[in-house]
Amino acid sequence: MANLEALKKSRKTDRGAFTKAYNKVEELIALEDVDISELEAELNVLKVKSDRLEITHASILELLPEKEFEVVEDFRNKVTRIETKAIRIINYQKHNYLIYSTIEGSRAREVIESFPSTGDNYPKAIDCLKTRFGRHDLQVEVYVREFLKLVQLLKFFSNNLCAIYDNLEQQIRALETLGVTTDKSAALLYPLVESCMPEDFLRAWQRSLNFHLGNDSKKGLDSLLKIFKAEVESEERINLAMTGFGLKDETSYKNGSKLNKGKMCTAASLLSTSATVEKSCVFCNGKHESTKCFKAQRMYCSEKFKILKAKGYCFKCLKAGHRVAKCRC
């Protein structure tokens, strides 16, 4: 009996918590513009309270099954009814959000708009989108094709190690998200990654001890990326140090000292017929070579191509006056 009394006291407390959570969900459902995030959170709270109350009811039923049977059934029906109503409201707003989150005139928008905007149709629209556009094999093919494009694009920026590494990491990460890990597809990814590397780095890589790892493509790929990452980090530290002290400026001396003296006019300079042309960076208009631009190293390849195309510069040598097809460099 003592155990039964304790259970009844616990049931009273659980009923109060359940009623409070139930009333909160009802208030949110009655609102016209309800915040579905808040509604979902309160619905989860209600489920927790109902589960706890159900456990207490089950414990009491073991002692008094006949008296408590009707109460348990009524409690379960209330939870089911309000949960169904809340889920319909949540799915209705999600369906509307799904429409506006797609591009107007796209095939995805047309598929979603083909379903009437109701809460019951939201799961159907999601299933249809997954069937049409969520095929795993097609997504993998898209990223593999992007990888192949990357091999073609990065050869024009072989001196920018940071951009190469960032783009490689992006593509490998995307494939790993789709389940194409380096464990499964190392034999495919290894030659693609190797083709993106600068020639000087590949020569050093093939002379290293890590290159001779047998026929294990996985170990070879991991070792290649690890060494390339270390090379990129080293390059970034050098760029940071050189830029911070102005050592990359063309007027700086090799020993790091920079004289703040004005240019002196001499007879030789006055009689000189060759005009000195200052070097100007195509990316930031700074007084340095375009290949040594620190700002350009942070740009994506698409941004660099856009700047070069707009200014009429060669994609290969970064000089004006000709295109990459007629480049003699």
* Domain range annotation of the chain: 1-134, 138-242, 281-326
CA–CA distances in Å: residue 36 to residues 12, 110, 245: 30, 25, 54
The per-residue pLDDT for 268 is 40
Evaluate if residue 91 carries a pLDDT over 80: yes
- In the predicted model, what is the mean pLDDT of the chain? 76
Of residues 158 and 182, more confidently modeled: 182
Tokens of 133: 């556009």
Q: What 3-state class would DSSP assign to 114?
A: coil
Tokens of 69: 């049977």
Give the separation between CA 17 and CA 46, rounded to whole angstroms.
9
Q: What are phi and psi of 205, to 5 degrees?
A: -65, -45
Across 148-174, average pLDDT: 74
Per-residue confidence at 33, pLDDT binned at 50, 70, 90? confident
Find the DSSP H helices in 101-244.
107-113, 122-133, 136-154, 161-177, 182-196, 199-207, 217-244
Give the separation between CA 322 and CA 312, rounded to whole angstroms.
8
The count of other CB atoms within 10 Å of the CB of residue 212 is 8
260-281 tens-digit pLDDT: 444 444 444 434 444 444 568 8
Q: What are phi and psi of 250, to 5 degrees?
A: -65, -20
The per-residue pLDDT for 213 is 56
**Tokens 């155990």, located at residue:** 3
Give the separation between CA 46 and CA 21, rounded to whole angstroms.
5
178-204 tens-digit pLDDT: 777 767 677 777 787 877 777 777 777
Core vs surface per residue 156-186: b (16+ CB within 10 A) or e: bbbebbbbbbebbeebbebbeeeebebeebb
Across 100-119, average pLDDT: 87
Count of residues in the chain: 329
- Model pTM? 0.45
Evaluate if residue 317 carries a pLDDT over 60: yes
Q: Are 278 and 287 in contact (CB under 8 A)?
A: yes
The per-residue pLDDT for 8 is 78
Q: What 3-state class would DSSP assign to 115?
A: coil
- The residues with which 313 forms a beta bridge, in sequence order, are 320
